[in-house]
A and B are shown apart, each in its own frame.
Chain A
Amino acid sequence: MFNIFNLQKNYGTIEVLKNITMRIDDGEVVTIIGPSGSGKSTFLRCLNLLEVATAGRIFYNGTLLDQELDSKRLRREVGMVFQKFNLFPMFTVLKNVMYAPMHVNKLPRREAETLAYELLAKVGLTDRAGMYPSQLSGGQQQRVAIARALAMQPKMLLFDEPTSALDPELVGEVLQVMKKLRQDGMTMAIVTHEMGFAKDVSDHVVFMDKGYVVEEGQPQQIFNQPKEERTQQFLNRILLGV
């Protein structure tokens, strides 16, 4: 789905991403882990052109992405879920989900509504359809955000730390929904600090630090026998608190 070659991103003189080459296949779940400030989110945002890379090339299904040119089409196929949900506060839950299908895909209202109810059922929030985002818990808001992204019927979803802004007891419900998506065969790239989850659902784990991809591989290998010392250190710190 994505082929990324020598991706580089600078903010002024600060190099955030250094020479990243990666590949994400159809139906694959890739999780990106690493300490904060390692460039994980920036990398994810380069994939749907929220950030424009300084150098390097990204191919989406064989097409080279160049800046704004393909961004609208690309974003219809590659959805995104944010750390802070970013639901539209002036719309009800239902309208949040049906808004883009109606106005971007020009779906008739009735169809968009049916679609929205289906997706709300999928994330377990049918009974919240008439509420406003501010009336929901963080976990519920994030599930609505996932339904909203799914409403565009994307081929792939990007998750930018989807559970980092949640109270610990609300993390599970969001991860549950994401597991369901995996079972449906959705291609996903997930930036997360939930190591147990990453180990469970990933086909492929990428460890990033200071803008580099330090190590990548199967989850079993990364979590049980990391080759690099920095990966080991990071996992120890997160999993064991040392």
Chain B
Amino acid sequence: MNTTLASLHFAQAAEYLVPSLVHGAGLVLQTTLAGFFLATLAGVLIAVGRLFAWRPFRVMLYGFLEIIRGTPLLVQLVYIYYVVPLLLNLLAGMFGYKTDVQISPMAAGIAGLAINYGCYMSEVIRGGILSIDRGQTEASLCLGFGRFETLVRIILPQAFKSIVPALGNYLVMMIKDTSLLAYVAVNELLLRTQTFASQTFFTIEAYTYLALAYLILSVPLSHCVKLVEYKLSNSERQ
């Protein structure tokens, strides 16, 4: 086998792989956007629940958090994609229904990302809420706002402002973690590359392009996050 650099076929690999990766990148962005939006929502709900909900509910949330943080994202994805439908069918069977529930790869992937990241982000959001001076809540209550309105109008906007950098990091991490979705058959970048490499044996070329693709996605994004952070810290002098 020829082992010189000349034996690498970057141009040839690019011809087939790059369009495919561009296509996959769209999917990755969609997944990340949906996943991050849902994760933020879940994070807020979990954080608020853990701070203010009825005590037994708080304990349940904490238990859930421990389960999610104690298991790998990859396992969770596989579980949601393969196991949850089986469990649902089993459950339906117990009540005498014959069902064939299936979850689409995309849906399973987004759900997994949202739940996993939601749990981690809830801790950051909880910290953000706790960092706001109690006086803000009191002032708002004294103006006649209820507890929920106070949280939504006064506390959360301030909490979010202080945690934007941390949340931004999660966004960049998530874009890279979408590569795990290859294992639940989402045709994202890694899966496309694997398929291509195994068909053509352009292993070095293919995975180098893959790494580049992730760099091109995540580096500008992390700079966007920095920009937002900078804008926020200058919008008002504190």
Contact = CB atoms under 8 A, between A and B. Distances in A.
B133 A86 contact: yes
Interface stretch (B20-28, B94-102, B153-161, B187-195): B153-161
Given A103-B153, A132-B237, A88 B142 contact: no
Chief secondary structure at chain B's binding surface: helix
A100 B145 contact: yes
Contacts of A135: 237
Contact of B145 (A48, A80, A86, A103): A103
Interface residues of B, number: 21
Nearest to A49: B141
B143 A152 contact: yes
Contacts of B141: 50, 71, 75
- Residue of B144, B145, B236 with most partner-chain A CB within 10 A: B144
Contacts of B200: none
Contacts of A80: 138-139, 142
Contacts of A69: none
A199 B149 CA distance: 40
A43 to B, nearest CB: 16
Contacts of A100: 143-145
A84 B138 CA distance: 11
B208 interface: no
Contacts of B161: 90
A82 B135 contact: yes
- Residue of A72, A79, A86 with most partner-chain B CB within 10 A: A86
A89 B138 contact: no
Contacts of B3: none
Interface in B157-178: 157-158, 161
A40 interface: no
B136 interface: yes
Interface residues of A, number: 27
Contacts of B154: 88
A165 to B, nearest CB: 11
Contacts of A204: none
A149 B145 CA distance: 13
B135 A75 contact: no
B143 A148 contact: yes
Contacts of B140: 88
B146 interface: yes
A99 B143 CA distance: 9
A99 B140 CA distance: 10
Contacts of A89: 158, 236, 238
A88 B144 contact: no
B149 A103 contact: yes
Interface string A82-105: 101011111000000001100111
Interface in A19-62: 48, 50
B142 A50 contact: yes
Given A75-B141, A87-B139, A134-B237, 14 more contacts: A75-B144, A79-B142, A86-B133, A86-B139, A88-B139, A89-B158, A90-B161, A90-B236, A99-B143, A100-B145, A103-B145, A104-B144, A104-B145, A135-B237
Interface of B: 133, 135-136, 138-146, 149, 153-154, 157-158, 161, 236-238
CB-based closest 10 A-B pairs = A86-B139, A100-B143, A86-B135, A76-B144, A104-B144, A80-B142, A132-B236, A75-B144, A134-B238, A134-B237
Interface of A: 48, 50, 71-72, 75-76, 79-80, 82, 84, 86-90, 99-100, 103-105, 132, 134-135, 145, 148-149, 152
26 contacts: A75-B141, A75-B143, A79-B143, A80-B139, A82-B138, A86-B133, A86-B135, A86-B136, A86-B138, A88-B136, A88-B140, A89-B236, A90-B161, A99-B143, A100-B143, A100-B145, A103-B149, A104-B143, A104-B144, A104-B145, A105-B144, A134-B236, A135-B237, A145-B139, A149-B143, A152-B143
